[in-house]
Amino acid sequence: MHRFINFIPIGQLAGFRWRSKFGRPSKVPELGDVDPTGSYCPLPEEWLLKKYEETNTETVPEPTRAQLFRVGLQNAIPFIMFGFLDNSVMLICGESIERTVGAVITISTMAAAAIGNTFSDILGIGSSYYVEQLVIKLGLKPPNLTPIQLDMKCSRRAANLGRTLGVTLGCFLGMFPLLLKKDEESTDEKSEEEEDEK
């Protein structure tokens, strides 16, 4: 974060804007320009919070149902991907760890699942940026809401509901390795029965 964001140059408040005994400046300063006076006026965070709380929220309209739906959808899609990756990678890695490491060191199924969950969490953190980029490429843009509207209870509820439904759906979809495991077990049982018959 730029170090000039929390400070307002005194020159912008007075000397740069009005004619003085030093004359007019060569250009109007922009955010981040160095103040030639070398001093800055700090803007207290308490003042900003007070101004934010003093904003009359009654005059700001509540988001429409369509906007709330888009808020929920925008929050749901990344969590669908996260839930899918989390469960699928945990199951695949957990089973592989149980077969390989469990053959050498005696570990329980829950321990193997916990180690697999570690890998899935690492992958989830690393893939969060790419999931967000995918959502943007799909054309799902957030609704044009003001910060006050986004901070309303209805908007927060819609966002949390979207995340909850998204991660739930993603976790169910991420359980597909269990279907493959059942197929493998059934083929193994058939081969064992055929060998017994011979």
pLDDT in the model for residue 172: 94
Q: Classify burial at 85, counting beta carbons within 10 Å of its beta carbon; exposed 0-12, middle 13-18, buried 19 or more.
A: buried
Mean pLDDT of the chain: 74
Least confident range of 135-144, 156-165, 170-179: 135-144
* pLDDT one-digit tens code per residue, 89-133: 888 888 888 888 877 787 888 888 888 888 888 888 888 788 878
Comparing 9 with 153, the larger pLDDT belongs to 153
pLDDT in the model for residue 74: 87
Q: What contacts 154, CB < 8 A, 6 or more positions away?
A: 62, 63, 68
pLDDT in the model for residue 42: 58
* pLDDT one-digit tens code per residue, 25-74: 555 556 555 555 555 555 666 666 666 665 656 677 888 999 999 999 98
pTM of the entire structure?
Answer: 0.59
Confidence of residue 143 (pLDDT cuts 50, 70, 90): confident
DSSP string, 13-57: HTTTTS--TT---SS---TTPPPTT--EEE--HHHHHHHHHHS-G
